[in-house]
Amino acid sequence: MNYNETLILLKAKPRKWLVTGAAGFIGSHLVETLLESNQSVVALDNLSTGHIKNIQKFTEEYPQNFNFIQGDILDLETCSKAMVDTEHVLHQAALGSVPRSIENPLNTHKSNVNGHLNVLISAKEKGVKSFVYASSSSVYGDHPDLPKQESKIGNCLSPYAASKRINEIYSEVFQRCYDLQVAGLRYFNVFGPRQDPNGPYAAVIPKWVSAFLAGEQIEIYGDGETSRDFCYVKNVVQANILLSLSQNKKAFGETYNIAFNKRTTLNELFEQLTIGLKTRGQLIKNKEPIYKDFRKGDVRHSLADIDKAKKLFKYEPDYSLEMGLNESLDWYIKNSQRRQ
């Protein structure tokens, strides 16, 4: 059953979902799609990195189906209360960023490992039907092979990567010990509307677009030939929903690459953003980037093999980088103008 067929069946049968990190970039898109599909959603977020503006409209538009809980996954009781009557869990709450984890590994560990364990324990106790969580392509570390295959991982290059690998290990253990249907999604450079362009840990696409629009110089770490497999957020939403509702028992107890399966260098991304903004009438003041030293913990190249996800739960990404940028740039321009 493909994604469109799954959405049709989903609308016909309402279920109760818990989305952690719901006020964040990815979490809010998951909440939106579920509510549009007539689902009941409990949204849990401590608003440390998420924004209430990302989910505020859902309270007004879906008063019967949406319940926001401002709380922290580091509190087991909060997780347990949020999990009541939940059928499916989409666990997105985490403290992201490789540089942030290098600067403060303890905070990363607390949020990403202790918090993850609390959500797992609560899901096990409440007997949920499925538990799908966000892992990361950072777990591949220094393994040189391209494309990245789930079974081949190297040494972790940051505390953030280590925390996500520990999440995977704990999840596998809960599947074996408690028969919890759990699976992880290794996201590859997700981008799209609502992604925060501000702060030192902002992802590259929103950060660069914000800099372009402000007339600032773009900084590239390294020679610009570092490559990434950029994945539009709607592909990620598709993967979460398809996997959660999969009838294939073999799909659980696994981790999957979620990407588009195409490599783009930072130099190529710079050119695409320049062209995309110019076609929208934006003035590009600084036409050449500034190249700086490579950052500690950064992976040189990233490209995902997505065959496993295609085979086990019918993942078929609809949006390329170009298609995703076509939707995202209008949002970034509009929201940049609001801030000015």
| Lowest mean pLDDT across 209-218, 261-270, 283-292 | 283-292
Confidence of residue 110 (pLDDT cuts 50, 70, 90): very high
Q: Which residue has the higher pLDDT, 246 or 288?
A: 246
Nearest by Cα to 186 from 243, 102, 248, 106: 243
**Would you say residue 338 lies in a domain?**
no
Count CB atoms within 10 A of the CB of residue 99. Answer: 15
CA 291 and chain centroid, separation = 27
Q: Is 231 exposed, middle or buried, given 0-12, 13-18 or 19+ CB atoms closer than 10 A?
A: buried
Is 160 a residue of the active site?
yes
Strand order in the sheet with 88-91: 66-70, 40-45, 16-20, 88-91, 130-136, 182-187, 255-258
Angle at 332 between CA 202 and CA 297, to 5 degrees: 20
* Rounded-to-integer distance, Cα 309 and Cα 231, Å: 14
Q: Identify whether 164 is part of a domain.
A: yes
**Count of domains for the chain:** 1
Beta-strand relationship, 182-187 and 227-228: unpaired
Q: What is the per-residue pLDDT across 217-253, written as a single tens digit (0 to 9) for each?
A: 899 999 999 999 999 999 999 999 999 999 999 999 9
- pLDDT tens for each residue of 307-336: 999 999 999 999 999 999 999 999 988 887
Residue 170 included in any domain = yes
- Is 110 within a domain? yes
Tens digit of each residue's pLDDT (9 = 90 or more) over 15-54: 999 999 999 999 999 999 999 999 999 999 999 999 999 9
**Residue 202: inside a domain, yes or no?**
no
- Catalytic member of 3, 62, 160, 319: 160
Question: Residue 295 phi/psi, 5° resolution?
Answer: -90, 145
Average pLDDT score over the chain: 93
Structure-block tokens of residue 244? 């959660």
Residue pLDDT, tens place only, 12-21: 999 999 999 9
The CATH number covering residue 150 comes to 3.40.50.720
Q: Is residue 264 part of a domain?
A: no
pLDDT value at 298 more than 80: no
The whole domain housing 39 covers: 3-187+233-259+298-319
Does residue 227 belong to any structural domain of this protein? no
- Whether residue 40 lies inside any domain: the answer is yes
**Whole-model pTM over 0.95:** no
